[in-house]
Amino acid sequence: MTDDENAAMDLIQQHGMGALAEKMGIEIVEFTRERAVGTMPVEGNTQPFGLVHGGAYVVLGESLGSVHATLLAGPGRYAVGIDINATHTASVTSGTVTGVCTPIHVSRSLAVHEIVITDDRGRRNSTIRITNMLRDVR
């Protein structure tokens, strides 16, 4: 891992992914400059019919996209989400879903990521795109 990646992982380990991500059981399993990978259990994150709630997919996607954008922003900078959209293409009722977050575009002021969420069988369940504004810490 690079110094930036180590610093970002230290920050995540120190402060966690946030209270909501913690309640949902989101865990980071890989974190490099090239991508962030996280998992989320289906259990506890479903809508009344037992399917993963669409909002749960979005929380996983935004969590991964925002922390990865903060890594790419560099020291003394952070990311703020300004746009997110999601397309849900398959249902899942058990197991774990995995989000793979990769940057599409990164500049001094913006980072755009795609997050592909799949189930335990490798089926794509949701595709999310998030745009983060990159800001300096004051």
Active site residue 62: yes
7, 75 in Cβ contact below 8 A?
yes
Q: Alpha-carbon distance 68 to 63, whole Å?
A: 9
Q: How far is CA 17 from CA 27, 80, 88, 125, in A?
A: 8, 14, 23, 22
- Measure Cα distances from 137 to 52, 79, 130 in Å: 35, 10, 21
Q: What are phi and psi of 42, to 5 degrees?
A: -70, -45
- Active-site choice (5, 27, 43, 62): 62
User: In the β-sheet with 27-31, what is the strand arrangement from edge to edge?
Assistant: 27-31, 36-41, 96-106, 110-118, 124-136, 77-88
Cite the active site residues. Answer: 62
